[in-house]
Amino acid sequence: MIVLAFDTAMASCSAAVVRCADGDSRILGQIHETRTRGHAEVLAPMIAQVMADAGVAFADLDRIAVTTGPGTFTGVRIGVATARGIAVASGLPVAGVTTLKAVAAGAAKHRAVQGRAIAPVFDARRGEVYVQCFSDTLDALTRPQVLGYDEAWRAVREYRPILAGTGAGLLPVTDEAAAGSGALPDQPTAAIIAELGAAGGISADPVVPLYLRAPDAKLPS
């Protein structure tokens, strides 16, 4: 299976074409940029570049995978809308992958995480974080939530997880082992998203964003 995957949900923009088969994967083309804005302008050229690097056309693809959030409202919308547009034009199925699971999957590849639960934590601003806890085999142990720092730690501490993500340092951890390592990923990467998208099922319904709270910007009443 050849998967085109991309992410614009948070403070990076990435795209990759990955060949996935029998649990193994090979990256055919990949670009990852740290970026807090301008995702809409760079995503289409980035996709074109990784497709060219991989030497594949849309007719060669089997699936699209995209992050659905949580993340910035604009970023999530850009990624999901692009995936939907490509799906309509190409007839390809789309797999949605949460940013929380993508970071957990990246962390699970590190030796220090083996046998430990993983709690991705993203800074959601306003004194809150997005958080969820997974086993090292990526089974969800809690649901995705947006919580204050103290609440977030209470929600996952029983699993004694290693923390990963942009908000990992915000939690008042009481277990030094939970702090994890600076080597753990703090942003989703498209190659990991492709692997998860290949392994997951495809819904007949269109992929939709995962928003855990209302947007900060609102129309005047």
Mean residue pLDDT of the chain comes to: 92
Residues 6 or more apart whose CB falls under 8 angstroms from that of 45 comprise: none
Backbone angles phi, psi at 139, to 5 degrees: -75, 135
d(CA 177, CA 151): 19
- Can you read off the two tokens belonging to residue 10? 């948070």
Per-residue pLDDT tens for 149-198?
A: 999 999 999 999 999 999 999 999 887 667 665 678 899 999 999 999 99
The residues with which 122 forms a beta bridge, in sequence order, are 130
Question: Is the confidence at residue 218, as pLDDT, over 70?
Answer: no
Domain positions in the chain are 2-98+187-199, 100-179
d(CA 205, CA 189): 25
Q: Please give the model's pTM, rounded to 2 decimal places.
A: 0.93
Backbone angles phi, psi at 124, to 5 degrees: -100, 5
* Percentage of residues of the chain with pLDDT beyond 90: 83
Common-topology check for domains 2-98+187-199 and 100-179: yes
Buried b or exposed e, range 90-108, using 16+ CB within 10 angstroms: eebbbbbbbbbbbbbbbbb
**Within 13 Å, how many C-alpha atoms sit on residue 156's CB side?**
39
Determine the topology of domain 100-179 in CATH. Answer: Nucleotidyltransferase; domain 5 (3.30.420)
d(CA 9, CA 65): 13
Residue 22 confidence (pLDDT)? 82
Residue showing tokens 């929380």: 100
User: Read out DSSP for 130-164?
Assistant: EE--B-TT--BSS--EEEEHHHHHHHHGGG-PEEE
Residue showing tokens 């269109």: 206
Residue showing tokens 């007949």: 204
Determine the topology of domain 2-98+187-199 in CATH. Answer: Nucleotidyltransferase; domain 5 (3.30.420)
Find, among 192, 202, 201, 200, the residue nearest to 25 by Cα: 192
Residue 174 confidence (pLDDT)? 81
d(CA 79, CA 69): 9
